[in-house]
Amino acid sequence: MYFNVSQLLKESSGSARAYKVSDFASVQDGAPMTPISGMVKMMRTDAGIWVSAQLTTYFDCECSRCVIEMEQPVDMSIEEEYLPEIDVHTGVRLHFPDAMSENFHIDHTHILDMSEAIRQYFGLNMPFKPVCRDGCKGLCLTCGADLNDTCCSCDKIVRDPRWGALLEFAAAQGRN
């Protein structure tokens, strides 16, 4: 997502803009572009532009419990300050203290590119174990049946495998 912020950079601190966005972005390395939507608010600071964004996108994945293909929604709340590389009034290259070197930058043509921030915040907000629904029961660990669709008749008692030889002996004797 690209924004021309040259006019906002010419205004005084506290000046603001708000944009409703509906665009496409690559949220993962090598992944196809996905739709992204939401609100982006920008406010002029003494050093650059503060960006506050509430964005929503999704990614295609498998449920971590039942392995069904699904679209996982991802909500992102971005709060970052972007610093200009070039002074908008004079065209002189700006230098910032080392403490600000990790900030995102506005390029020499005064274009604010949110792509890298979106990619980073997507990674932070992506669930580690996506599920298709809150009550997903998953797969039976013994027979592999989808427990959302069927009930299986497998033994539900979990046995510690460290007792393997003794469990086999007990089973041979007719005891569990």
- Note the pLDDT tens digit of each residue in 69-119: 999 999 999 999 999 988 887 777 777 766 566 789 999 899 999 999 999
CA distance 113 to 42: 13
Stated pTM of the model: 0.76
